[in-house]
Structure 1
């Protein structure tokens, strides 16, 4: 390919392979080059300012210029820039971070395994579940339940858990032994007149039917996000997790809480599991663990799961799993500093103080002709765009209404994410009330500009 010009945009089109992008369209449109960040804002290479309404990708909790995280990385780089935790080796950053995570876990946990992304964490959880059941002499108990519209990552196994068609289509996914239960979205999938509680009962009954049809002796675990993030910021209906967990307990099925988005105060508690009453056997987390400054994720496991792994590794002679960069010392040091900042600055208290403003802003958009539902908890939420508010009729997906609104938001200085026709809002946790107001002013302006384009 011939590179025309020497600009960053030209070089990007020549050499960069972009995820979650229409690759053909990108060859024409090219990228927006984000050059720097400050607080909840980022700036492109022309100097234009944007509120980052999705915290980059649900992760930049402490904003884009937190000097303490930069300093923590530099200190660790100078002390021990890289090392591993294979073969009885360790380092202080890994030990300290493990201890901090175990102390703040939503339920008693035993050990922490480190990886580099949410996808790797969930892949690891799958392997641990299979290893666990082999250790217990249950080689047939291997199937794993996820949910329609769930998002658990994009590695081969994690993408199989993900319940979104475009993550499977033409990748030859999902792999075997992965099942998908109902999506718990009351607005879209409840029957006429069905309350949230009744909807939750029906979904729990359907889960039990799925387990019985497959054979309880073959079902190992269920993965669940407390709030389903990339599937549309879907908040579970009242009593849902109580009823789901009762079914899992009945059939000795592990629960994995995917806290990759919800963890670290996003929902108004330290964990989404606390907000919605989950009691997981395994918990995965990433993103806000380091405020997105460096790649790191973690898998926390219960004592029962860990002891089974001990038994099996003793039999084999080794626990044959791990990543070169598991517990990378610089990433671990930055994550540990992130947790210290959350505690010292009472980030949780700040989230609880400003969350009502964000949730009121979302509900305020219900008056807009394009908005059918507004939903959210804490500092995460979404609005769903509809063709008809009364019937809840969706737009034709080919119309790309959500993508048009997203582009208009960017034009008006707001970066958000459209997931189909759902517009997600998930700003950095440090956002102030006046910045929330500005975010919604820009979002409403974009919706107003979209209205004549999509309604005619």
Structure 2
């Protein structure tokens, strides 16, 4: 149906190029226009209500109408609406926020650098690693290893870290020097009869072999999300990070934890690194840092990394990196208030209560469904993977767009979902969601899945 000429949808089609969208199809179908939000719910410009099962993009941890964050932004706008952090300039919100992050870090950290998105933060961390190694007289130690299905952003370097085909095709990516090892997904990657621990051992050996093949003197860092997010909410197997870190330590390779999704309570601890026993050299965070009310991200580095940067900047005369909006005072003020709220409402305790309920309900409702191959997750992040053949763990042909079709059924029933690779459907609701709202969300998902099941059954009958 063509949108009315003067509608919001028509104006969008005429003027907006959307991220992660089939631009040609968008000209025909148009957007869903969201007008307002309240709690875990959003409303489109026709007044229809939806439960946001992914908190926007894994990020609106405090929901869509937190007045304290609004007031924090307004107060800072009146006091100091902008100032930069170049050439040793500073301001109180940036200083206070850096201090709060250092206090909350999962392992001792030395300094915090601020950017505006997870992509910028990961890109900055890459530059830090390269800069440090140059300063320390190791100019060959530049290669970076990430994982297939990992997601680390969309700038040229961050997209090279990312291990998803759509982020590489037609972009001439990844750039040279970026390598990828296997996805730590036991459901698809394990050999017959292979335990999680044995699978983890094999993946650690693969990483070791890759480093040796490339030359340990050339490999600088390993990048990992504690739980892979956009690649399908993949929870690594037992003992995986213990074994991976032993390999990195042996070869003097830095561990960079991408906590853009997992940070600030999503996995049931303040950091995903704490949930999985990770001791990162660099930690990248964003999204829930401000509940995504304003763009801000951060890179925390340990003393070793900082000293390398300090030595290099002394030799050059400056550390020639930064953004106009690094540590923007209004964004920093909102982030400070966000962290205060997390503490005051005991958000981690809430996630530890509601998260297991969400995980158990997902399994109770969907694990035995004929279209669901696997239900997986931890804390308040999860996925159900739709499959054509449950016994064979066979996915649907991507051309059938089964995952996106479930999303449309979900919208009809008032729930916003996210379809990822292999028709994995993500769940990452605002962290303030209640058990009752979880039940309501999953009731709507059940109706959507029932509708998709009927649709696919009719297609099968018609094909006979």
Query: Are positions 1:434 and 2:406 aligned together?
Result: no
The 2-side partners of 1:94 and 1:442 are apart by 42
Gapped runs of 5+ residues in structure 1?
Answer: none
Q: TM-score, normalised by structure 1?
A: 0.99
SS of corresponding position for 1:43:
strand
Pair 1:401-2:399 in alignment: no
Match of 1:171 in 2: 171
User: Matches of 2:6 and 2:136 in 1, distance apart?
Assistant: 60
1:432 offset after TM fit, Å?
Answer: 0.4
> Over residues 108-167 of structure 1, what are the superposed CA-to-partner deviations in whole Å (9 max), with x where a residue is unaligned?
000000000000000000000001111111000000000000000000000000000010
RMSD: 0.8
Q: Show the counterpart of 1:212.
A: 212
Partner secondary structure for residue 398 of structure 1: helix
Aligned equivalents of 2:268 and 2:186: distance in 1?
22
Partner of 2:44: 44
Once residues 271 and 426 of structure 1 are traced to their aligned partners in structure 2, the CA distance between those partners, rounded to angstroms, is 15
Counterpart in 2 of 1:6?
6
Rounded Cα–Cα distance in structure 1 between residues aligned with 2:82 and 2:4: 39
| d(CA) in 1 for partners of 2:272, 2:202 | 23
SS at match of 1:248: helix
1:447 is matched with: 449
What's the counterpart of residue 417 of structure 1?
Answer: 418
Question: 3-state DSSP class of the match of 1:367?
Answer: coil
Shift of 1:411: 1.0
Residue 222 of structure 1 aligns to a residue whose secondary structure is strand
2:227 aligns to what? 227
* Alignment partners' CA distance in 2, 1:355 and 1:83: 39
2:32 alignment counterpart:
32
Alpha-carbon shift at residue 4 of structure 1 (Å): 6.7
Could you list the per-position Cα deviations for residues 265-287 of structure 1 after superposition, in whole angstroms to 9, with x for gaps in the alignment? Answer: 00000000000010000000000
CA deviation profile, 1:284-335 (whole Å, cap 9, x unmatched): 0000000010000000000010011111100011110000000000000000
Alpha-carbon distance in 1 for matches of 2:7, 2:443: 33
**Equivalent in the alignment of 2:120:** 120
Alpha-carbon separation, structure 2, partners of 1:362 and 1:300: 34
* Residue equivalent to 2:336: 336
CA distance in 1, matches of 2:6, 2:327: 38
- Secondary structure in 1 matching 2:306: helix
- C-alpha offsets along residues 357-416 of structure 1, whole Å, 9 cap, x if unaligned? 100122121121110000000000000000011111111111110010011111110001
Listed as ranges, the matches of 1:295-306 within 5 Å are 295-306=295-306
Post-superposition offset of 1:59: 0.3
Matched residue SS, 1:32: coil
**Structure 2 equivalent of residue 382 of structure 1:** 383
Distance 2:269 2:227 in 1: 13
Report the counterpart of residue 191 of structure 1 in structure 2.
Answer: 191
- TM-score, normalising length: structure 2: 0.97
Q: Comparing 364-373 with 96-105, which one deviates more in the overlay?
A: 364-373
| Equivalent-residue separation in structure 1 for 2:96 and 2:448 (angstroms) | 45
How many Å separate the matches in 1 of 2:353 and 2:394? 35
Q: 1:355 is paired with a residue of what secondary structure?
A: helix
SS in structure 1 of the partner of residue 367 of structure 2:
helix
Q: Which residue matches 1:92?
A: 92
Q: How many residues align?
A: 454
> Which residue of structure 2 lines up, in the alignment, with residue 367 of structure 1?
368
Alignment correspondent of 2:64: 64
Deviating 4+ runs (over 3 angstroms)? none
| Residue 273 (structure 2) aligns with | 273
Summarize deviations over 1:63-114 as a string: whole Å, max 9, x none. 1000000000000000000110111110000000000000000000000000
1:418 counterpart SS class: strand
Please show how residues 100-119 of structure 1 align to structure 2 within 5 Å. Answer: 100-119=100-119
Measured after TM superposition, the shift of residue 453 of structure 1 is 2.0
Q: Name 1:326's counterpart in structure 2.
A: 326
- What is the CA-CA distance between 1:356 and the residue it aligns to? 1.2
- 1:452 deviates by 2.4
2:317 & 2:45 partners in 1: Cα distance?
Answer: 54
Match of 2:242 in 1: 242
Paired position in structure 2 for 1:144 = 144
Q: Deviations over 1:158-193 (max 9, x none)?
A: 000000001000000000100001100000110010
Q: Does 2:315 correspond to 1:315?
A: yes
Offset at residue 7 of structure 1 (A): 1.3
